[in-house]
Amino acid sequence: MKADRSGPRRPAWFFVALLAWAPVILVLDGTLSAPWPWQYVLGAATFGVLWLATTRLERRDRAQVWLCVGVATGFEYLGSQVWGGYRYRFGGIPLFVPPGHGLIYVFAIALAATEWVRRYERAFTYAVFGFAAAWVIAGLVLLPPVTNRLDVHGAMWLPLFAYVVLFSPRRAIFAAIFIATTDVELAGTWTRSWTWMTTIPWYHVGSGNPPSAIAGGYAIIDGTVLLLSAPILRSIS
């Protein structure tokens, strides 16, 4: 999954469809009174969409997307079940969450490879970072009277996000990840499929619902994927 190579041309509807999938699934999830059986149906459908979305990826990219599903699920378990920074409505991790992370990765890979983003990469990444920084400031200054939450947690992720989106060779991918992650987090918290704690454990600082620059956490997921995928990619190259 290299940031400097172009992939197959994607129509605009492909990106719209990927961004629309999570809100649709999460709205449906918000109507459920129990996880069985429909939450599993939503999960199976999301796995199917992920499989279709990866069919036109290069083999190396496809391998990393599916590895991301496993890595992100591990971090989901740590974040929701061990750390407890957020909780899912029914307690356990819904089946649609692991492939949802894969769809975020697919969106990021495909958008970063488009001709428009490649041509205006600096402007694109700066614009996304500007939005993230404005959200962080709003979470500390403007939003607390409305939300009753002081988003120090979101601000804690901004330095890492600033580094990967401004200086990393994969900056366009991380900018695209921010777009997709924001889409998912806003939909998931609005439908109450999951809720971030008002005060996060261990650090005992306030958190937004969702935290503003939480997309910076994908730098950790991405680095783990790259580290673990190296021997796999060598074996298939």
Q: What is the DSSP letter of 199?
A: B
Q: Specify burial of residue 224 (Cβ count, 10 A radius: 0-12, 13-18, 19+).
A: middle
Confidence (pLDDT) at 106: 96
Q: What is the DSSP string of 84-144?
A: -SEEETTBSPPTTHHHHHHHHHHHHHHHHTSHHHHHTHHHHHHHHHHHHHHHHHHHHHTSH
User: Quick one: tokens of 130?
Assistant: 């500007």
The pLDDT, as a whole number, for residue 42 is 98
pLDDT at res. 4: 44
Would you state the pLDDT for residue 237? 61
pLDDT at 8: 63
Which contacts of 37-43 are long-range, i.e. CB under 8 A and separated by 24 or more positions? 39/90, 39/94, 39/95, 39/96, 40/95, 42/94, 42/95, 42/96, 43/94, 43/95, 43/96, 43/97, 43/99
Tell me how far apart the 2 most distant CA atoms of the chain are, in Å: 54
Reading the chain (237 residues) residue by residue, the pLDDT tens digits are 444 445 567 899 999 999 999 999 999 999 999 999 999 999 999 999 999 999 988 888 898 999 999 999 999 999 999 999 999 999 999 999 999 999 999 999 999 999 999 999 999 999 999 999 999 999 999 999 999 999 999 999 999 999 999 999 999 999 999 999 999 999 999 999 999 999 999 999 999 999 999 999 988 998 888 888 777 767 766
pLDDT score, position 236: 62
As given in the structure block, the two tokens for residue 105 are 């990765």
pLDDT of res. 228: 84
pTM of the model: 0.92
Bond prior to 37 in cis (omega within 30° of 0): yes
202 Rama class: left (phi>0) / alpha (psi -120 to 50) / beta: left
